Amino acid sequence: MTSSPPDTRHGADQPTPVPPRYLAPDLARGFMLLLIAMAYAPFYVSAAEYGLNYHPDDGSTADAVTNLLRIVLLDNRSYTMFAALFGYGLATVVARRQAAGAAPVETRRVLRRRGLFLLLFGFVHGTLVFPGEILGAYGIATLLVASLLFRPDRALLRVVGMLIPVFLLVVPVLTLIASSAMYAEGATVVPGYSPPELLERLVTYPVTPVYNLLTYPVVLTMLLGVWAGRRAVLADPAAHRGLLRRTAVIGIAVSVAGALPAGLVAAGLWQSSTTLDGVLMTVQILTGVAGGLGYAAVFGLISARAGDRPGPIARALAAAGSRSLSCYLFNSVLLALLLSPSLLGLGDSMNSTGALFAAAGVWAVGVTLAVLLGRSGRGGPADVLLRRLVNGPARGR
């Protein structure tokens, strides 16, 4: 989940120096971690009834506003934002390894190992902590797109064009099924941690990453990120201000417009039905592609403005973004520990709004730890472990 690739090779086994990191992707990842924490936290609220998209709703004005803002600005936007950044990072890996003289077959091997280990990380995380996690989906997506990373832009964009009608057909079906399940009597999504619940997740986890890949346009957005990575859009944002500005304005406008109807339902301002909920959430999910790209572009513009002298907030976000796998897992584990009814149980006394504040607090702790690691010259422990597993201990530091 980090923006810089593993150390590249001259041929098959000679390392080259670790390349510098770029501010824009790390800024975006640092902020993305907040969005993901806010997306996860309400799933641990057990005292309120579920509304649209499994949002807890206690009937208060605060929850109505919170759920409106979540649907319009957050839900299914962090997924696609990360997919774009992830694809951007994969393109950077390939470009740097090719520049270092690595053979394509060796680079494919590294990419496939990364995908397999992300899938393993996701399996452990999804079984033990949060069943709706994202790592497994991106691991599978990496395996699917690895070969495409060596194809020309024409082939890349042809696949994007083929995927668009696929998602236009598949997303509505799966979203309607999910909407029906949401309102089923006794339906619950609060993760539990008893042995039977852990065993159930162990058995059913393989369905989760496949469902996420089919329901959310992860691969499509990832390939658009690859396209941007080949052009170094975020590596040199000052040279791409026009593209970034257009992407930010158009992407966020489309995203907000597409999510607003569902947001009004979530806030209780518009009466709906199970079928209409599914339709509205389909539009919300599909326009999330534009939202994720728009958010990433915003951080490119912020980075271009900061130049070589980012302020303390930007440096803190970048510290978290450069250790994003570690921060992501830290946030998820701490949220589960604090909020789960099976553990400390603070979620029993919270509403949707309180859960978002709890997520922001946990995220702030993670950012602080990332800053401290940066000052001591250390990487995130999970990020370092992933690099060592993928590239070998000599080059995983």
Confidence of residue 19 (pLDDT cuts 50, 70, 90): low
Please give the structure tokens belonging to residue 354.
Answer: 């309180």
Element (H, E) at 167: helix 153-182
pLDDT at 6: 38
pTM metric for this prediction: 0.89
What is the C-alpha to C-alpha distance for residues 195 and 258, in angstroms, rounded to an integer? 41
What is the C-alpha to C-alpha distance for residues 381 and 397, in angstroms, rounded to an integer? 10
**Average confidence (pLDDT) over 153-181:** 89
**Average confidence (pLDDT) over 24-44:** 92
pLDDT at 9: 37
Q: Which residues of 378-396 are buried (b: 16+ CB within 10 A; e: fewer)?
A: ebbebbbbbbbbbbeeebb
Could you give the percent of the chain with pLDDT greater than 70? Answer: 90
8 A C-beta contact, residue 175 and residue 181: no
Show Cβ contacts of residue 217 under 8 Å, excluding neighbours closer than 6 positions: 80, 83, 163, 167, 171, 285, 286, 288, 289
DSSP 59: S
**Average confidence (pLDDT) over 291-297:** 95
Look at residue 179 and tell me whether its pLDDT is greater than 80.
no
Domain residue ranges of the chain, discontinuous segments joined by +: 20-395
pLDDT at 358: 96
Look at residue 165 and tell me whether its pLDDT is greater than 90.
yes
- CA 15 distance to own-chain centroid: 30
Amino acid of residue 194 = S
